[in-house]
Amino acid sequence: MQHVCILGSTGSIGCSTLDVIARNPEKYSVDVLTANTNAEKLFEQCVLVKPKLVVLVDSEQALKFQRQLDKSDLDIIVKSGSKALVEAVKFSGIDTVVAAIVGAAGLLPTLSAVQQGHKVLLANKEALVMSGDLFMQAVKDNGATLLPVDSEHNAIFQCLPESDNANLTSLSGVRKILLTGSGGPFRLLPLEQLKNVTPEQACAHPNWSMGKKISVDSATMMNKGLELIEACFLFNVALEQIDIVVHPQSVVHSMVSFADGSVLAQMGKPDMRTPIAHTLAWPERIESGVEPLDFYQMTDLTFEAPDYERFPCLQLAAKAMQTGGTAPCILNAANEVAVAAFLQKQIEFTDIAKVIELTIEQIEVTEANSLACVLSADRNAREVAQALILKGIEKR
Ligand code: NAD
Ligand code: MG
């Protein structure tokens, strides 16, 4: 029996995780759930899985949750605040942590899970992008097992040679990693219309159903940029060893190309329950509720090169990785601020990349060799990005 803590249980990945676990009740006990503000959904989840501890970061929502709990016969410890989040992964008996918080808010609790030496199922790519080397060093130092939930990285993990799966480092015979991405909802939109797309259009992904932030990231392809950085750190490969391949059908979730000409691909329906089930059960396999592909019904599978003019965020991310140090952290923070502003209709879609670019230009990159450096770069970038948005993005 694995004892599971889900950080961010009320989100898209959190809900999919609970769905997979519900199909395998004899294997998993969900002991800890956490959420930011959604007390209602968290309570519904508690009725079903009866955890021992919940953390609601928002204190008012935690009170609301407690009042509802008092009227029920559930016996659950309720905590609030971001410190409680970092403590949640240390709850007695927990061995598996699903890192499914969105954005930089996930860094400290996810790192805390790594420091406990847990099995960590990583969906929260921003945490790794921010703190790359520090994060991977913590995995090593604490004997944690880091398993990628992000579908592309999970696919790569599945395609890598068996012997490498244990540590994700030495890539013998691997020529390239081929990181696939759908190109999002605006792959074919006439370029001049990009400026006027709405948050609703940006969040309507053709293949995947996801939280709002990652949906916008998919529309700008910053998601692929973040994933490029994520892959460099996870698999300890240089930027030049990864090619981005646009594959609009989202059937192939990524590939690994080998020295002898072989290319291995992992395929499946675009449903996050597959990589979640894979990481939960690894190295075994369990039911996920996802139907297999029907090859008799499958339409064309197509592949093409990414359009760097349409998706400037791809270049920005590659450049940040090349620069190293705190550059990926600055990129990530500026992106989070810009995406939030776009969702609130404060800036246009095409301003997202501009905010990021201008933020990066204004901040000095330093070594990212301590958590303090990383957190300070994150804070700094947020302030600069916010100020740029307030004063109106320079029109180019
Ligand atoms: P979501 O917005 O649906 O859910 C986010 C979760 O994080 C919620 O439970 C929310 O309560 C919690 N949260 C948000 N802000 C918080 C804060 N400040 N403090 C504490 N908790 C907070 O997001 P999602 O789509 O489930 O994505 C989660 C992570 O997984 C992201 O990093 C995303 O990039 C990654 N991911 C998601 C998908 C997907 O299909 N949704 C695929 C691959 C990777
Ligand atoms: Mg992905």
Task: Give the tens place of pLDDT for each residue, 222-276.
Answer: 999 999 999 999 999 999 999 999 999 999 999 999 999 999 999 999 999 999 9
Q: Which residues line ligand 1 (CB under 6 A)?
A: 8-14, 35-36, 38, 57, 85, 100-102, 105, 123-126, 150, 208, 210-211, 213-214, 272
Residue 27 burial by CB count (10 A; 0-12/13-18/19+): exposed, middle or buried?
middle
* Domain map (residue ranges) of the chain: 2-148, 324-396
- Is the pLDDT at 170 greater than 70? The verdict is no
Residue 124 CA, ligand 2 centroid: distance in Å: 10
Distance CA 219, CA 245 (A): 15
Give me the pLDDT at residue 209, please.
84
Would you state the structure tokens that stand for residue 279, as one six-digit string? 């990481």
Distance CA 308, CA 205 (A): 20
Residue 216 CA, ligand 2 centroid: distance in Å: 13
Q: Is the peptide bond before 283 cis (omega within 30 degrees of 0)?
A: yes
Classify 106 as helix, strand or coil.
Answer: helix
Q: Taking CA 352 as the corner, what is the angle to CA 349 and CA 356, rounded to the nearest 5 degrees?
A: 170
Closest ligand (CA of 273): 1
- Is the pLDDT at 168 greater than 70? The verdict is no
Give me the pLDDT at residue 167, please.
44
For domain 2-148, the question of CATH label 3.40.50.720 is answered with: yes
Query: Of 199, 222, 208, 204, which Cα lies nearest the Cα of 310?
Result: 222
Determine the topology of domain 324-396 in CATH: Rna Polymerase Sigma Factor; Chain: A (1.10.1740)
- Nearest residue (by CA) to ligand 1, atom 21, is 36
- Is the pLDDT at 317 greater than 70? The verdict is yes
Mean pLDDT calculated for residue range 369-383:
97
Mean pLDDT calculated for residue range 23-30:
98
Say whether 324-396 and 2-148 share the same fold. Answer: no
Give me the pLDDT at residue 396, please.
44
What pairing do the DSSP bridges indicate for beta strands 174-181 and 242-246?
Answer: parallel
Would you state the structure tokens that stand for residue 4, as one six-digit string? 């599971």
Give me the pLDDT at residue 299, please.
82
Would you state the structure tokens that stand for residue 234, as one six-digit string? 């996870």
CA torsion 99→235→373→316, rounded to 10°? -100
Q: Which of 54, 101, 121, 150 maximizes ligand 1 atoms within 8 Å of its Cβ, making it the mutation to test the pocket? A: 101
Residue range 125-156, pLDDT digits in tens: 999 999 999 999 999 999 999 999 999 999 99
CB 327 within 8 A of CB 341: no
Closest ligand (CA of 225): 2
Residues 6+ away with beta carbon under 8 Å from 1: 26, 27, 28, 29
- Nearest residue (by CA) to ligand 1, atom 39, is 210
Residues 6+ away with beta carbon under 8 Å from 293: 251, 267, 268, 269
Would you state the structure tokens that stand for residue 355, as one six-digit string? 């905010």
Confidence class for position 313, pLDDT limits 50, 70, 90: very high
- Nearest residue (by CA) to ligand 1, atom 27, is 102
What pairing do the DSSP bridges indicate for beta strands 263-267 and 252-258?
Answer: antiparallel
Residue 216 CA, ligand 1 centroid: distance in Å: 13
Give me the pLDDT at residue 171, please.
55
Longest dimension (CA), the chain: 64
Question: In this prediction, what percent of the chain has a pLDDT beyond 70?
Answer: 97
Q: Is the dihedral of CA 103, 269, 203, 363 positive or negative?
A: positive
- Nearest residue (by CA) to ligand 1, atom 30, is 123
Residue 151 CA, ligand 2 centroid: distance in Å: 5
Bridge partner list, 147: 121
- Which parts of the chain are beta strand (E)? 2-7, 28-35, 53-56, 77-80, 96-99, 119-122, 145-148, 174-181, 242-246, 252-258, 263-267
Q: Which of 57, 209, 214 maximizes ligand 1 atoms within 8 Å of its Cβ, making it the mutation to test the pocket? A: 214
Classify 304 as helix, strand or coil.
Answer: strand
State which amino acid sits at residue 343.
L
Confidence class for position 207, pLDDT limits 50, 70, 90: confident
